Amino acid sequence: WHSRVWSWIYWTCGRNCGKFPKNLRQKRSDLQKELEIAKQDYARLVRETHYADMQQSPLLFLLSADNFQQLVRRIQYMQQFAAYRKEQVKRIESLQTEIDIQNSLLEERKQNRSTALQSQKREQDKLTRDERKQKDMLQSLKTKEKNLLAKQKEQQKKVDALNKKIEELIAKQVRTTTT
């Protein structure tokens, strides 16, 4: 039955696997309806057989045959009827097995989707944390840059003041030597 299930999955899924869960649910629903009908038919068959058994026993039914040929036909009828009942039971069991398979496939799909969503959520959280770290780092670097620029300006002012003093001293020296 596994090969039947997988061939059904392949046939159903085909190229449009996006519709897989919907088709799977529809198949399960159809199987459940078919199972319910089969159970009702079987219950009706059992009730009618039980009612007939209460009216007349099977042995009496066989022994009341008019001749040997009719007796053989009645035996064949009873065998066919018993085979039909067994076939109905097998059909019900088969449908129930298919429904169980569909349920397990749906549950597996649901778990896979849940796992994928959890994984996606973890990734999203990780990306959010990384983005927050980068923003914090960028802010820290901007603050450091601002501080360094302020220090550089201060240093440049000191250098400019020092250069101005040196020029003044040189100019003063030049004036004193030329006079």
| pLDDT one-digit tens code per residue, 106-137 | 889 889 989 999 999 999 999 999 999 999 99
- Distance between CA atoms of 153 and 93, rounded to whole angstroms? 88
Distances (CA, A) of 60 to 30, 54, 65: 42, 11, 9
- Distance between CA atoms of 159 and 150, rounded to whole angstroms? 14
The amino acid at residue 176 is T
Question: 34: Cβ–Cβ under 8 A, 6 or more apart, which residues?
Answer: 95
Whole-model pTM: value is 0.48
Torsion angle defined by CA atoms of residues 127, 131, 136 and 139, in that order, rounded to the nearest 10 degrees: 170
- Give the range with max mean pLDDT: 14-18, 81-85, 152-156: 152-156
pLDDT, tens digit, 9 for 90 and up, residues 21-76: 567 777 778 888 888 888 888 787 777 765 555 456 777 778 888 999 999 998 89
pLDDT, the chain, mean = 81
Whole-number pLDDT of residue 56: 64
Is the pLDDT at 6 greater than 60, yes or no? no
DSSP 64: T
Rounded to an integer, the average pLDDT of 77-106 is: 86
Whole-number pLDDT of residue 57: 73
Is the pLDDT at 145 greater than 90, yes or no? yes
Whole-number pLDDT of residue 20: 47
Q: SS3 for 14?
A: coil
